[in-house]
Each structure stands twice: as C-alpha cells, then as structure tokens.
Amino acid sequence: IAALSILITAPLGAWAIPTFAPKLLSQDPVDPTKVTVASHTLLLAAVDTSSLATHVLTKVADLARRSNGEVIVLHVITTSNQPEVKQLQNQTKRLLLDIRHQFITVTGSIPKEIVRIAQEHQVTDIVIGKRGHQPWQQVLVGSVSQAVLETSPIPVILVEEVERTSEASHH
C-alpha cells in the first residue's frame, strides 16, 4: 500500500511543485496606485482675503483631488470684514466644488490659531500662502507663514503668489 501511495502522489507532487511553488514564493510587484494608506488625507488651507487665497485654494484643491482627501479652509478674522469673508466663502465653494470641505472662521493670533486648528482636527498637511519677496508688500503675512513653519509639528506646504506679468514675458 505504501508503494502504491508513492506511485500516485509522486507524479502529482512532480506536477504540483513547478505549478504552485512559483505562485506561492513570488510576490506580485507593488502597484503604487493600488496601495491603500490607512491614514485619511485632511488638508488645512489657511487663507486671508487677499488674491493669494486663490492660489492657496487652487493648490489645496489639486492636492485633495490627487489624494482623495478632504479640506478644512481656515480664515482667522483680524478685523470685521464681513463682505470680504463672505466673498472668500463663495470663492471656496467654487474652487472646492467637487471636494468635501468645511469653512471655519476664528479670531485670535493668526499663526497660533492655524496650528491649533490643524492639531485639533488632526490634519495631515497645512497649506498656506507666502508673499513674494517685494519689501513693499505686507511683511506681516510673510511672518505668519514663517511663524507657522517654526511652530507647527504638522508639515507645511507654502504656496507662493506667481507674478503673471513676469511669467508671460518669458514666453
């Protein structure tokens, strides 16, 4: 009986090993588009009521679309500029039309509030505008991005305002 079972299983084993072993031993190459990341992408876009807000919102929309993430748009109110804030809310709705987002306004120290809200909501990145290097532009806004960079434990993505005129003259 032992000889009989060897006669039956040996050919089966001889066929099975080359057929199944490579499948069991080899791993499929990792497809980066199929890898699911356990963490959820939540971006914080800190905006003021200047033209730089458009650049920040456009950038955060692009990042959110690529990562299938959500966005928190934060505006720290420094003066009572209700019409400008309303305009900013409408612009946010327009630019983030296809993205899950919420618009938050708070009062207080701009850099502190940005970092506080980012930590409170456990965002993955902070997206903030950075002014150009012209000395006559508001030095204050540049120092806001600097202060956030220095105090935030969360990665910060800086968006610079692109000068349209200088860009067009190069082409």
**Residue 12 to residue 64: CA distance in whole angstroms:** 53
Q: What is the pLDDT of residue 170?
A: 41
Gap between the terminal Cα atoms of the chain: 87
Per-residue pLDDT tens over the stretch 33-58: 555 544 689 999 999 988 899 999 99
Q: Decide yes or no: CATH 3.40.50.620 for domain 42-169.
A: yes
* Domain residue spans of the chain: 42-169
Residue 17, pLDDT > 70, answer: no
Phi, psi of 142 (to 5 degrees): -60, -40
